[in-house]
Amino acid sequence: MTTTRGPGRPRDQAKGVAILDAGWALFLERGVGAVSIEAIAARAGVSKMTVYKHFTDKHALFEEAVLREMRAIKTMQIVQPTSQADDLKGALRAFGIGIMSYLATGAAVDFYNVLAGELRRHPDIARTFYDIGPGRTISNLASILAGAGDRLVIDDPIKAAEALFGLWQGASNFQLSLGVDAEGAGQAIAERVDYGIAIFMRAFSRPAP
């Protein structure tokens, strides 16, 4: 978290954002351990003392940068349950393409590849990130499925959401993380989402009366 300050001149918010941007970029490039305050200051175009005026150390900066990323992910997770057949498929498709496109971005891939180990050393923030990120994704997808009870036979929306998400993801996470046909994995998102929805609907659709 950021340092506290007594009465006096407010910190320059633009510099604070620049420091966060610089630190986040360097953490993704090198990992937290290999990044120094001096490097962050140089990337942000500020002095070392200016960095310390905003953050107690690089780990506090890392924590704030992760929290900022979580807030960005949270804004993506606004969905409305639906019970109409056509709207259901459309909602699932929009949700699937949205989240899978985000996970295919370089920043998301780098985050999991480079910074997952750092998060494990901060269990509280790791738990919070999971709850707001992957956990919220599954929960919101489950809410769509739970709102379609007239069309789907689902006894456990969370498990069903995990199954659908798995169909969407396939082996793409390995491809993206390892850089094996990463471009192809990104280009195939819509096709993979549509295929997953088709399989899911065949498995869970309520039989016609």
Domains and CATH numbers, the chain: 13-62 (1.10.10.60), 77-204 (1.10.357)
Are the C-beta atoms of residues 122 and 63 closer than 8 Å to each other?
A: yes
Q: Note whether 136 and 77 are within 8 A (CB).
A: yes
Give the pLDDT of the chain (209 residues) as one tens digit per residue: 444 444 444 458 889 999 999 999 998 888 888 899 999 999 999 999 999 999 999 888 988 888 887 777 666 655 554 445 458 999 999 999 988 988 888 878 877 777 777 778 878 878 877 887 888 889 999 999 999 988 999 999 999 999 999 999 999 988 888 888 888 888 899 999 999 999 999 999 998 77
Q: Mind listing the pLDDT tens digit for each residue in 4-51?
A: 444 444 458 889 999 999 999 998 888 888 899 999 999 999 999 999
Distance of CA 31 to the CA centre of its chain: 18
d(CA 84, CA 138): 21
